Amino acid sequence: MGICIDVLIVNWDHLMSAPGDDQRYAILHDAGLSVDDNEGAWPDRSPSVGRQWFWPSPPAAGWFGKFDFGDVGFSYKDHFAASEHWEAIRVFVPHAMRSAVDRFIDPLFWGGLEYMADRDPEGAAAHVSVVLPDAPSDHLLWCPPAAVSSLKLLWDLVGAELEALREPFERNAHAGSSRITSFDAFAGLLRGWGDVIGQAQQRGWGVVGLRC
């Protein structure tokens, strides 16, 4: 069955004002639940749900938003499958684009991708570094605003050229079982992350991912 992920963008100063990891986790967990539509709850979720944002009502309004990846991406398994697809196709992608995608998805796909340390970056992405602190217990992602700004630079490179990955994907993608059975599903997952990073960056916020 795997696990599902709740992704929130958050005002980092507000979050860090809570004393200790346990308090912060409780605040984030309660925030995610407060905007949960409870429709198609995990694991019996409707497969027709699309990507969407949920924003809180007062008095919580103003410090967080919750992103729902929809039918592809609500499960960690989908992100793992996307990383396998990328590993299968990346050798067929021009080096500069490869470096940009590597550096965009590596910090987002919890634990990184094993081949990253052995590759030399190229192109504009070579000048962008994303450094994430260790995530507190039970968090799948812990991305402060400084890292969000770097990820936004990488997404600007990736998003503009995403269609160039279609042919390598359709010819060489990993054949394993998952909901990511097409390039459009793969690209949709990356665009979801691009939306998350873009919304956080324009507010100067961070991004967190919680087990749900």
Mean pLDDT, the chain, integer = 85
Q: What share of the chain in percent tops pLDDT 70?
A: 84
Query: Does pLDDT of 119 surpass 70?
Result: no
**Whole-prediction pTM:** 0.89
* Per-domain boundaries in the chain: 5-211
Looking at residue 43, what is its pLDDT?
43
Cα–Cα distance between 185 and 51 in angstroms, integer? 12
Q: Which residue has the higher pLDDT, 62 or 156?
A: 156
Query: Does pLDDT of 121 surpass 90?
Result: no
pLDDT in tens, 21-79: 899 999 999 998 888 754 444 344 444 468 899 998 776 668 999 999 988 888 888 99
Looking at residue 104, what is its pLDDT?
92
Query: Does pLDDT of 197 surpass 70?
Result: yes
pLDDT in tens, 89-106: 999 999 889 989 988 998
| Integer angstrom CA distances of residue 88 from 16, 106, 117, 176 | 39, 15, 17, 11
CB 157 within 8 A of CB 124: yes
Cα–Cα distance between 143 and 210 in angstroms, integer? 12
Is 54 in a helix, a strand, or coil? strand
Using 50, 70 and 90 to split pLDDT, how confident is the model at 212?
confident
